[in-house]
């Protein structure tokens, strides 16, 4: 039996890749064949797309790069702008087909979104012609895991994102608190508030690390909360 999860975040830079890789390591440690997917990435560093390489390194199944990452843009800009500049439209059906192949090859597929949950992906902004990462998640139809970057403003961002996920008819499988700001005031009070307000299980609280080690951070994830995950 295979399953998959769509990992989104409250914003850009909240640790989606770290959490996605930690999930891959956590499932692998339990004996499951895993693979990560980054449908759209923008921002090349030293000739490679770091997020994609991290996901590939954390995966136990090896498949063609173009399946794992169908769309890659060099400039670190919004993907719809990058798509417009390069005249390469992002095709959600192409991504869906790639994801289906990954799901067929692994026990667990972790799909990492881009930016927040409503980042534009289409070249057109006209009604009926526009689509975003929310639409991508709907096309894939996977349960969603929300990464909350623990910093000032995270309460509003987390609750708005959770509301949008549920309004889209998607299952919010759980959330991960990622301590990205070591100087955040009242972090425990914020955690308690989110735990009370988010109607889904807290899957783990990742401690702050200057250089995040996803394999080490995997130990902080609970994959069996509310029976949603493998045991």
- Exposure string of 101-110, with b = 16+ CB inside 10 Å and e = fewer, is bbbeebbbbb
Whole-number Å distance between alpha carbons of 198 and 10 = 13
Q: Decide if 85 is catalytic.
A: no
Strand partners, 176: 147, 204
Who's near 220: CB < 8 A, 6+ residues apart? 22, 204, 205, 206, 207
Active-site entry in 38, 101, 138, 171: 38
Closest residue by Cα to residue 11 from 110, 168, 139, 148? 148
Up-side HSE of residue 157: CA atoms within 13 Å toward CB?
22
> What residues are annotated to the active site?
38
């Amino acid at each position: 039996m295979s399953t998959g999860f769509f990992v989104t975040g409250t914003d850009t830079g909240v640790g989606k890749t770290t959490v996605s890789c930690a999930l891959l390591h956590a499932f692998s440690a339990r004996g499951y064949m895993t693979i990560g997917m980054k449908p759209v990435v923008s921002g090349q560093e030293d000739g490679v797309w770091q997020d994609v390489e991290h996901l590939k390194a954390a995966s136990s199944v090896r498949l063609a790069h173009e399946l794992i990452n169908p769309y890659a843009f060099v400039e670190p800009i919004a993907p719809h702008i990058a798509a417009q500049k390069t005249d390469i439209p992002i095709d959600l059906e192409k991504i869906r087909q790639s994801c289906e192949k990954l799901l067929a090859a692994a026990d667990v597929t972790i799909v990492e979104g881009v930016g927040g949950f409503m980042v534009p992906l289409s070249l057109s902004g006209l009604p009926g012609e526009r689509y975003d990462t929310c639409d991508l998640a709907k096309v894939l139809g996977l349960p969603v895991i929300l990464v909350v970057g623990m910093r000032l403003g995270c309460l509003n961002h987390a609750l708005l994102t959770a509301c949008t996920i549920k309004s889209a008819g998607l299952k919010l499988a759980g959330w991960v608190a990622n301590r990205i700001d070591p100087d955040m005031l009242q972090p425990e009070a914020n955690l308690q508030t989110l735990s009370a307000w988010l109607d889904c299980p807290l899957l783990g609280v990742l401690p702050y690390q200057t250089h995040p080690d996803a394999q080490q951070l995997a130990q902080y994830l609970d994959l069996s909360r509310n029976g949603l995950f493998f045991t």
